[in-house]
Copies of this chain bind each other. A is one copy, B any other.
Amino acid sequence: MDVEKKYFSNISFRERAIFEGAISMAALFHQFIGTPINEKTAESLEIAISNSLQLQPAIEKVDVSINIDKIKQSNTEFNYVSLSGDMLNVRIHSKINDLIAIIRMEFIKELNYPLMYVEDIIGDE
């Protein structure tokens, strides 16, 4: 089966790059929110998150940064917290042909919300 032709010929490369990057960003959020974490385990979780999301279609790079200060601020009696959206800063590069979409998630204090948006698109159709 020609998956590209059958399922993706109705959208442009640019739209496809946005589509795949958006999928991986939301996958990241809803898969890993709630994971027990503290400052000692943050790095291994960042690596596992990045490795797992890079497996998805079109994903070239996943930079995950977990905010250690926020972990410490929300610390509990048991010295760990549940990973939450305000601790995450993520950039995902998705590539279709020579076109790269950079999808970003960052916590915007003014919105009290971990906003996902298209930070940049590099290359042309």
Contact = CB atoms under 8 A, between A and B. Distances in A.
Contacts of A3: 77, 111, 115
A18 B29 contact: no
Copies in the complex: 4
Contacts of A49: 48
Interface in A27-85: 27, 29-38, 40-41, 44-45, 47-49, 51-57, 74-80, 82, 84-85
A18 B19 CA distance: 6
Interface of A: 1, 3, 7-8, 10-11, 14-15, 18-20, 22-27, 29-38, 40-41, 44-45, 47-49, 51-57, 74-80, 82, 84-85, 108, 110-113, 115-118, 120-121
